[in-house]
Amino acid sequence: MAKLGQKFNKYSKEFRLSIVEECLKENEKVRTIAIKFGINRNTIESWIRSYKFGKLNTKSGRQPGNEEDLLEFWKNKCELMEKVSCFCNEKIRKKIEVIKKWRKKYKINLLLEALKVKR
Note the pLDDT tens digit of each residue in 19-64.
Answer: 988 888 867 789 999 999 999 999 999 888 888 877 776 554 444 4
Q: Is there a contact between 44 and 34 (Cβ–Cβ < 8 Å)?
A: yes
Q: What are phi and psi of 94, to 5 degrees?
A: -65, -40
Measured between alpha carbons, how far is residue 71 from residues 57, 59, 68 in Å? 18, 16, 5
Domain shared by 79 and 106, yes or no: yes
Instruction: Give the whole-angstrom CA distance, residue 99 versus residue 89.
Output: 16
Q: For residue 25, what are the domain limits?
A: 13-52
Residue 58 lies in a domain: no
Residue 19 lies in a domain: yes
More confident residue, 70 or 43: 43
**What DSSP element (H or E) covers 6?**
none
Q: What is the pLDDT of residue 41?
A: 92
Domain count across the chain: 2
Supply the pTM of this predicted model. 0.45
Domain shared by 47 and 73, yes or no: no
